[in-house]
Amino acid sequence: MGSSNNASKNAKWYVVHTYSGYENKVKTNLEKIIENRNLENLIIDVKVPTEDVVEAKGEEKKIVTRKIFPGYVLIKMVMTDETWYIIRNTTGVTGFVGPGSKPVPLTEEEVEALGVDVREIFADYSVGDNVRIIEGAFVNQTGTVEEIDNANRKVKVSVVMFGRTTSLELDISHVESV
């Protein structure tokens, strides 16, 4: 087949409204349905975004995990009649967020701002390669890659400025090979 990779590329994040307090139940129910019906290639991820906050009661402080969007669940999926129907009919789901019955996927910017989908960006260049800086204060400068730190998404590039070689530490995505 080989279509599963293609399908996950077409997957987008959608927001589903749930009954208050049902967010985790919806996530659990969906995960069971996905597993039972082998829909992993269509419904890729289900998230209930949370944050840890410090609650203070008098002298006592404790860390509490709080839902960032109470009443909502985020789902990364390929929208088909089948997936729409399955999610729409999951216990606790009141509907998709969007005008009428048409679910609207989150934009790339919204997904990034929410921090729900962390993309792995790897350098498509190597140490010693010539690269061009495509973002930031040194845009359009070219230089040579000295070091690549994939874990922290940083790259060290040596650039000649004002007759001197200078080392710059940049984000991996701010540099492209020439």
pLDDT digits (tens, 9 = 90+) for 92-150: 999 999 876 679 999 888 887 777 776 556 677 889 999 999 888 889 999 999 998 87
End-to-end, the C-alpha distance of the chain in Å comes to 36
- Whole-angstrom distance, CA of residue 64 vs CA of residue 114: 20
Q: Are 4 and 58 in contact (CB under 8 A)?
A: no
Q: Where are the domains of the chain?
A: 3-114, 130-177
Do the domains 3-114 and 130-177 sit in the same CATH topology, yes or no? no
Q: Are 16 and 95 in contact (CB under 8 A)?
A: yes
| CATH number, domain 130-177 | 2.30.30.30
Q: Rounded mean pLDDT of the chain?
A: 87
Q: Give the model's pLDDT for residue 2.
A: 38
Q: Does pLDDT of 1 surpass 50?
A: no
Q: Give the model's pLDDT for residue 96.
A: 93
Q: Does pLDDT of 166 surpass 60?
A: yes
Answer with the residue of higher pLDDT: 75 or 171.
75
What is the CATH T-level fold of the domain 3-114, as seen in this structure? Alpha-Beta Plaits (3.30.70)
pTM equals: 0.61
Q: Are 54 and 21 in contact (CB under 8 A)?
A: no
Give the residue-averaged pLDDT of 81-91: 94
> CB atoms < 10 A from the CB of 168, how many?
19
Q: Where does the pLDDT of residue 158 fall: very low under 50, low under 70, confident under 90, or very high at 90 and above?
A: very high
Q: Where does the pLDDT of residue 15 fall: very low under 50, low under 70, confident under 90, or very high at 90 and above?
A: very high
Q: Does pLDDT of 6 surpass 80?
A: no
Query: What is the per-residue burial (b if ≥16 Cβ within 10 Å, else e) of 45-65?
Result: bbbbeeeeeeeeeeeeeeeee
Cα–Cα nearest to 11, from 22, 2, 20, 3: 3
pLDDT digits (tens, 9 = 90+) for 35-61: 999 999 999 999 998 888 888 888 888
Per-residue tokens: 44 = 């890729």
